[in-house]
Each structure stands twice: as structure tokens, then as C-alpha cells.
A and B are shown apart, each in its own frame.
Chain A
């Protein structure tokens, strides 16, 4: 009896206790003028991790990811550091596709390939444990955990490069991943077009961000032809996305973006296959 009273009392009391430690913030304005935030009061963009997109896609049905895996290839490092960085991004993105396809053998191969490419740009140490973890978890078919490891691998590589004062090279890893991810995403959307699926491509902020990063890239990286080609590809995609609103990206626009990204990924992978 006493216990029941205590339980009821605590249930009754809980909202008041909660209210005493957790209060609603002062009511925010329903509308703000974003122009009151000049550039120096706006923070840089954090590029979404692929899992954010895959989480939505999961809800929109079961796409055929196996068709997106492409040929089984292991990519070797070349002498072109920009190419290796872009390539590493595409290979990590391949990892996500292989996870979606639940192909553990492919995931493991990709995990090893990530290590080879990371070594070529001096960030092997930072991804060794991720790579091992990817292989172990793929063996156990723990797909959500493998996704998180690939998210983390992208982050670790970027972080390591920034620490090596190679922040711009890190941007190329992100770009490579984004290009390959967008290629796979547009292909999936094309398989079974719907406005909901196409809406995932509405990323004007990221296009502006990548364009700006490429425009500010130093001469050391600009001498690589691929960097110019990526800049041009991103430049062509911007107007395609921005002419649309989030819920009216047409099948034609999806196809155009797919063609641009597929060609770019092919260029990045040329000579490295």
C-alpha cells in the first residue's frame, strides 16, 4: 500500500520536479530577419554524414542497392594527391552503398582499400582502428554499426588532414564522397522516382559551400586538372538545384545531376582502377 502511494506520489510529483530543473526557454520570435546576420555571424557548414540521407531513404522503401555497387575494383594510389583524396572520398561512399546492399565481403574489401589510400596521404594511422572495426562489424553483419564506422572514418580522415595542415585536401575527400554519394542517390531516385526521394537532393547550402571551398583552394592543389573539373561539375549542379524548390526536383533534373556526378566519379577513378 505504502509502495503504491509512493509510486503514485512520485508520478504526480515528477512533472513538477522536471519543471524545476528543465524550463522552457524564453519564447523565441516566430519569424526572424536572416539578413540581420552578416557573414561574420554565420558559422561554417557541417557537411551532413551519409547516414543522415540513408536514414531517410530507409523510410521511403527498399531501393535496390546491389545495382549501385558497380564493378568490384580496388583502387591503387597514384602520384596525384588531389586524385587520391577525391578517390578516398568515393571509396568511403562506396562503403555506404555496400552497407545498404548488405554485402559484407564488399564492405571488408572497401575497408581495406580505405586503408591503402589513407596511407598514400599519410593518414593511415588515424583510420586503422576504424578500418578494423568496419571489417569486424561487417563480419557480424551489424549494419548500423558499420554505417557509423564509415561516418567516423570520413570524420577521422578529415580531422587528421586538418591536423597535418592539409585542410584543403580534406575538403576534396568530402567532395569525392559527396559526388559518389550523389551519383548513387540520383540513380536510386531514378529507379523509382518520387518527389519525396528527389527532395533529398535539395542541398543548395552544400553546393554553395563546396563551390566556395573550391574557389578558395590554393595553387598547390589547383595545378591538378581534376580539381578544376570538379569545380566545373559542382558549378553546373548549382543552378540545377537552385532553380527548383525542395519539393519539385524533376526526373529530368535528377537525370542531369546523375550524368554529371557519374562522369566526375569516372574521371576521379580513371587510372586508379
Chain B
């Protein structure tokens, strides 16, 4: 599975968020759309001072499938993960676990095609964002995950 370095231009986002999905093949178009929605979810947080990373992860999953995304997080920062899909009626979730598999997030929630999780790491190290498609009318559901951080 590849990590997609993605780039997206959005009217409401600061220039720092601008990223263009370099994989232009139509096969990845749904991931590109999912990314647009992920940045849309992140936008209000960027306006509140969260720094949203330009790098992102993306792919597609079947209903009930999960994917683990690894990240190095630092104690002292707050992190917010934004997950989105291009499939309007799909339901996803993202949860953050530490390197021992313990739930690490302080909160997580869903809103339509979006899912969020916030974590204040108790220790610096490796964390896993578990991305899951709970239900979807499509066989494969495109998803994209971005994250932001702040002190």
C-alpha cells in the first residue's frame, strides 16, 4: 500500500495547506475527492491555529476492512486526525492506539462522511491510526486521512 503525497488547492485553506494529489490517474480520483473532504474537515481547525500537515494518507477499503496508519507523535503536542470519504452515505471511523495497542485518543466522533480523533500523547513514540469503513453502499470506499497538531 502506498502513502500518497497529496496536494490540494482549497479556497478556504491557508497556502500552507495547499497540496496537489500527484497521482493523477483516474483510478485514484476517488482518493483525490476523499482528500478534498478531509481538508474540508480540517479547515475550521486550521483557522483555530492547528497546523495541518501537507502530507496525507489515502486508499480504498471494503466495508468492514481496517487499515493501520503509523505515525510518530510527540508528548506535549495535541494531534487531530481527519478522515473522510467521497462516498456520501458511507460511515467511517478513525481511532488512535499506542504502540502497545491501547486506545490513546481523548475523543473521537463522526459527522456524515467525516470521522475525527484527537489525541494528547502520554508518551513520545509510535502511534497507530486505525482507519475503518463501518458501512458503505460501494464495494470499495475511497478514504483520505490528514492530521494537524498544536501545542
Binding site for B on A (CB under 8 A): 21-26, 28-34, 37, 40-49, 51-53, 55-56, 58-60, 148-149, 151-152, 155, 158-159, 162-163, 196, 199-200, 202-206, 246-247
When chains A and B are docked, how far (Å) is the Cα of A26 from the Cα of B135?
A: 12
Contacts of A55 in B (CB 8 A): 74, 76-77, 149-151
When chains A and B are docked, how far (Å) is the Cα of A34 from the Cα of B130?
A: 10
The verdict on B70 contacting chain A, using a C-beta distance below 8 Å, is yes
Q: CB distance A48 to B51 under 8 Å?
A: no
Given A29-B103, A52-B149, A199-B123, the answer on whether A43 and B108 have CB atoms closer than 8 Å is no
Contacts of B125 in A (CB 8 A): 202-205, 246
Count of residues in B whose CB is under 8 Å from the partner chain: 49
- Indicate which residue in B54, B76, B111, B134 contacts A152 across the interface (CB closer than 8 Å): B54
Contacts of B101 in A (CB 8 A): 31-34
When chains A and B are docked, how far (Å) is the Cα of A49 from the Cα of B17?
A: 14
Q: CB distance B70 to A163 under 8 Å?
A: no
Q: CB distance A22 to B110 under 8 Å?
A: yes
- Indicate which residue in A46, A151, A246 contacts B124 across the interface (CB closer than 8 Å): A246
When chains A and B are docked, how far (Å) is the Cα of A30 from the Cα of B111?
A: 22
74-123 of chain B: CB within 8 A of chain A: 74-77, 93, 95, 97, 99-103, 108-112, 115, 123
Given A34-B97, A56-B77, the answer on whether A148 and B128 have CB atoms closer than 8 Å is no
Q: CB distance B70 to A42 under 8 Å?
A: yes
Q: CB distance B150 to A42 under 8 Å?
A: no
